[in-house]
């Protein structure tokens, strides 16, 4: 595709579709937000309703752009599950109910814009490498710990895709006799260390209903014994899974994002220590908190869109040089 002529009035639409909410933005060539929009994801209404809401949200953002006098050069949409970016196919999503859905084509027909489809966690990893905590690093494991757990591995360049199947860290088995997982296995990392699992485990142990993992983190910091036991088990499971990933892929940097990472040092300090205890000959990675917070996926969607629009000024991957420090 020939390179587009872009000017100060150009933007792309970026949309990060999650299991509970959608985060949208208008992003200019310098990745500055020129408009934002958040909406709930109507997951309970079924997969068709989710597609309808995505299209409506893209239309609304396009309307914002028109009001601001901006020219939309394309849209980037990132979603959870198994995503084949090369075929623009949402292969599978347990949360949203999709199977083999040509989502980009469906949306293009509805809104009349070119749509670049990506995976939410790989997009978040790209954004952290280009704009956030992993700037300058070459071998990076980005881990998003939220309702589920997934990872993006950047090894000497762009993230590994493997047809959309790469990065399912949450389904490494950490307890073979553990709880059933939605994937059909038992004792997956997600059943122990996801934000949802942490909250569920605390309620089961204490009989006290909590709003989420953030409340368990607060109780842990306050010395609640039941919360501490749940938190320690989650940290141990994360350390085990990250040790496996480190042995296989040798990242120099592990970036933790998602809701659980918002606990900061309450998670990072014990996790660093327990990961180090599990490693012997392996390269010991630096473990840090993501910088972009819950905006990483949306920014990654924007990078996808600009990459598709063939902007020379905004490559999807900021290739580090030999002189770039970690």
Domain boundaries, the chain: 10-124+294-308, 137-290
Return all residues near 143 (Cβ < 8 A) that are at least 6 apart: 149, 150, 151, 169, 242, 254, 255, 256, 257, 258
Biggest CA–CA distance in the chain, Å, is 61
The hierarchical CATH code for the domain 137-290 is: 3.30.420.40
pLDDT digits over 63-78, tens only? 999 999 999 999 999 9
- Least confidently predicted of 87-101, 138-152, 246-260: 87-101
H or E element: which one contains 75? Answer: strand 71-79
* pLDDT of 313 over the 70 cut: no
Portion of the chain with pLDDT greater than 90, in percent: 74
CA-CA distance, 255 to 222, in Å (whole number)? Answer: 26
Q: Is 113 helix (H, G, I), strand (E, B) or coil?
A: coil
The hierarchical CATH code for the domain 10-124+294-308 is: 3.30.420.40
The pLDDT, as a whole number, for residue 2 is 40
H or E element: which one contains 56? Answer: helix 47-67
Contact present, 161 and 86 (Cβ < 8 Å): yes
State mean pLDDT over 51-70: 95
pLDDT digits over 103-156, tens only? 999 999 999 999 999 999 999 999 999 999 999 898 999 999 988 899 999 988
CA-CA distance, 107 to 111, in Å (whole number)? Answer: 6
Comparing 10-124+294-308 with 137-290, is the CATH topology the same?
A: yes
Return all residues near 126 (Cβ < 8 A) that are at least 6 apart: 152, 154, 158, 159, 300, 303, 304, 316, 317
Return all residues near 148 (Cβ < 8 A) that are at least 6 apart: 19, 80, 95, 170, 190, 194, 196
The pLDDT, as a whole number, for residue 320 is 40
**Nearest residue to 21 (alpha-carbon basis) of 55, 52, 53:** 53
Portion of the chain with pLDDT greater than 70, in percent: 93
* pLDDT of 312 over the 80 cut: no
Each residue of 293-307: b (16+ CB within 10 Å) or e? ebbbbbbbbbbbbbb
State mean pLDDT over 220-242: 96
């Amino acid at each position: 595709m020939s390179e587009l002529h872009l000017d100060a009035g150009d933007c792309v639409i970026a949309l990060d579709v999650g299991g509970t909410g959608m985060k949208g933005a208008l992003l200019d060539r310098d990745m500055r937000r020129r408009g934002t929009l958040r909406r709930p994801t109507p997951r309970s209404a079924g997969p068709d309703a989710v597609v309808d809401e995505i299209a409506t949200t893209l239309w609304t953002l396009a309307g914002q752009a028109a009001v601001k006098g901006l020219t939309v050069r394309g849209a980037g949409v990132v979603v959870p599950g198994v995503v084949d970016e090369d075929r623009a196919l949402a292969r599978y999503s347990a949360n949203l109910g999709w199977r083999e859905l040509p989502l980009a084509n469906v949306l293009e027909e509805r809104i009349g814009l070119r749509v670049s489809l990506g995976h939410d966690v790989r997009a978040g990893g790209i954004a952290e490498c280009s704009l956030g905590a992993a700037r300058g690093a070459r071998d990076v494991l980005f881990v998003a710990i939220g309702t589920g757990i997934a990872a993006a591995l950047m090894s000497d360049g762009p993230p590994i895709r493997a047809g959309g199947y790469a990065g399912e860290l949450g389904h490494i088995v950490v307890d073979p006799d553990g709880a059933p997982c939605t994937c059909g296995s038992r004792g997956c990392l997600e059943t122990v260390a996801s934000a949802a699992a942490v909250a569920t485990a605390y309620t089961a142990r204490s009989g006290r209903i909590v709003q989420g993992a953030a409340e368990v983190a607060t109780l842990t910091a306050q010395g609640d014994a039941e919360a501490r036991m749940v938190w320690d088990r989650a940290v141990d499971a994360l350390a085990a899974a990250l040790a496996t990933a480190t042995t296989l892929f040798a990242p120099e940097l592990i970036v933790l994002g998602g809701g659980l990472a918002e606990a900061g040092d309450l998670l990072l300090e014990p996790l660093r220590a327990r990961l180090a205890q599990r490693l012997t000959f392996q390269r010991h990675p630096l473990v840090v908190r993501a910088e972009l917070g819950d905006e990483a996926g949306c920014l990654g969607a924007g990078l996808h869109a600009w990459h598709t629009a063939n902007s020379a000024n905004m490559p999807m991957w900021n290739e580090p040089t030999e002189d770039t420090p970690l």
